[in-house]
Amino acid sequence: MKTEITHHLTPQLLMAYSAGTLPEAFDLIVASHLSLCDACRAEAESYDAVGGALMEGETSEMSAGSLEATLRMIREGGAAEADAPCAAAPPATAELPRPIRDYIGGDLADVRWQGMGMGVRQAILPVDGPATARLLHIPAGAEVPDHGHKGTELTLVLKGAFRDEDGRFGPGDVEVADEAVEHTPVAEAGEDCICLAVTDAPLRFAGLMPRLAQPFLKI
């Protein structure tokens, strides 16, 4: 999957991923995005370099200004991106990023979907910890019910695209939604939208029917 990515992960998420402090579900979506996005992968590797330098500093003294220089390189992006190794190319026929394929034991054709109503389907992935991860299959033109968030929701587009109050999200894009965000994602016409969505708290639905179904759908 090679496309122009315009919505990226935040520095805070990338630093937490590098430090190993994210829940497993968030690790999965970050790793999946990094497999698609050269810019975020280079930035994440720069944070890895900072962490490595700090660890080395526990036994040997860092040169004056080395941390500041590394952080400046992260901000400027150029040097870190130039030195970043290329991600391993997926098989020519692969439809999902490798981290997701590893979780489901196959590719998109192997996903075991469950209906959620209105043509929307989901597949909950087996992750440990308090956060959840699921693949969503939203028919072209269909919408996800209006909802807010009690925590953080990350949504990575894998195929197709959707639009909501924050703009358009296409393949490789990540939407970061927190408690201040309330939206109604709508899949674009022409192609079904497939996403990976992770949450660390239940969603807050506006409508009665989604709220009634929520315990059964585990969202």
In whole angstroms, give the CA distance from residue 8 to residue 40: 7
> What is the per-residue pLDDT across 53-106, written as a single tens digit (0 to 9) for each?
555 555 555 555 655 655 555 555 544 443 444 444 445 578 999 999 999 999
> What is the per-residue pLDDT across 173-189, written as a single tens digit (0 to 9) for each?
999 999 899 999 999 99
Sign of the Cα torsion 72, 77, 78, 84 reads positive
- Could you tell me which of 151, 157, 190 has the C-alpha nearest to residue 172? 157
Taken in order of first residue, the domains within the chain and their CATH numbers are 11-83 (1.10.10.1320), 98-217 (2.60.120.10)
Q: What is the DSSP string of 169-198?
A: E-TT-EEEE-TT--B--EEPTTS-EEEEEE
In whole angstroms, give the CA distance from residue 206 to residue 68: 46
Two structure tokens written together for 61? 């003294």
Query: Cβ(167)–Cβ(122) under 8 Å?
Result: no
Query: Cβ(177)–Cβ(155) under 8 Å?
Result: yes
Model confidence, pTM: 0.79
Report the mean per-residue pLDDT for the chain: 84
Integer CA distances (angstroms), 213 to 23, 115, 145, 187, 208, in order? 26, 12, 12, 21, 9
In whole angstroms, give the CA distance from residue 57 to residue 63: 9
In whole angstroms, give the CA distance from residue 69 to residue 91: 38
Two structure tokens written together for 178? 């927190």
Residue 41 has pLDDT above 50, yes or no: yes
